[in-house]
Chains A and B, each alone.
Chain A
Amino acid sequence: MPLARPDIDLDQMAEEFRPKIGFKVRRQLGPSNPDWEDLVNEILAQAVDKIRSGEFRGDSAVGTFIYTITIRRIADYIRHKSRVLRHVPEPSTPADPAEDAEREQQLLRLADAVAALAPKYKAVLELYYFRELSREETARRLGISPAQVSERTHYAQRLLRRRLGGDFPFLVRPGD
């Protein structure tokens, strides 16, 4: 009979992995899918059960173990959904207006902060993010190296975090 790993704090594990699972689920199913939160809870519950029952023996990292559960559950969801939808058309789910408004406010404030960045950071964000040029093409147009393109996007990110941290919960993580 396998034993549960006593060194894993399940509460801490849930706190650490909930946003990561949520990120992967939303990215895979689309941000407006109404089932995403339920799916995240199911995945977490499944991970906790498997750790408690000793099914996770520590042969891989906890992150890899939970990632595997996540992608399998997402695949199951898509398979199940496509079976169900073949027989019964799904009614469209209206978006949550309050959530949409809050998200829009956050994006607006973030956009204003981007607009206030120094020109050399704005130029990189315009070519690389907005016009979606390749890193090499962006570098060529700005007369810098491709590595500097990445460095400037990362540094712009740091500046934005510094300026907006308090106003942007999704930009502030524990340990910042």
Chain B
Amino acid sequence: MNNCLFRRRVDDYLLDRMSADDKGRFEEHLFQCGRCFRDVSEHEAVLAAVRKHGGRIFAPDARTAPARRISRRGFPPAWAYAASAAAVLLAIWIGFHPGNRDGGGVPLTPPSSDAIRGGSMEGIAPAGVLPAAPSALEWKPAEEGLDYTVSLSGPGLAWSGRTAAGRIEIPPDIRAKLVPGIEYRWKVRAFAPQGGLAAVSRETVFRIAP
């Protein structure tokens, strides 16, 4: 059991929810604490698997897998039919009850693919190789009334900003840090007014020509 105080920050580190200073302190700690390093390595692997295959893992047919196992053993008992009927009714109620559409319990609507979590959204620009440092990030908004959190990262650079529009200016000090030839990635997350995650874009990659 790892009782180290840094242990509770493992996910904050991996999910980029730390200030640059805290991140530095945490990484320095990893060089001294084998248990926290092991935790980070393991959580990182699970995070990678969930990010890549979450669409399948958390899909509704994955949730009903035990029911398929019952039918493989032969004729299902009467209680299995009753349980299935109850599950269907519950699913219908969850789907149509207004209180469950946003923020009420575990969301049961699966994302449409492995790569895009939540709803889908597209990054428009910048992408690919650019002649100069971009001044803004632009995407196709998912729907009206959402707040967008945009994150831009690369070696030695991590920035995020919020907006209600489909475009955000890159601050001049961040723009100045973009180095030609280095790959940068950006991603947009859309949040509903109540704070629930509504859509996530794929990562868009760009590089400034040397």
Contacts and interface: CB of A to CB of B under 8 A. Distances in A.
Interface stretch (B50-58, B87-95, B120-128, B131-139): B50-58
Interface residues of B, number: 55
Contacts of B78: none
Interface string B93-123: 0000000000111110001000001100000
Given A126-B106, A141-B106, A175 B181 contact: no
Interface string A82-104: 10111111100000000000000
Interface string A109-123: 011001100000011
A87 B28 CA distance: 35
B106 A78 contact: no
Interface residues of A, number: 64
Contact of B37 (A19, A87, A89, A90): A19
Given A88-B210, A153-B11, A23 B30 contact: yes
A126 B54 contact: yes
17 contacts: A23-B30, A23-B40, A24-B30, A30-B155, A86-B180, A111-B53, A114-B49, A115-B56, A125-B46, A126-B50, A129-B50, A130-B57, A150-B8, A153-B11, A157-B39, A170-B41, A171-B42
Interface of B: 7-8, 11, 15, 17, 27-28, 30-34, 37-43, 45-54, 56-58, 62, 103-107, 111, 117-118, 155-156, 179-183, 189, 195-197, 200, 209-210
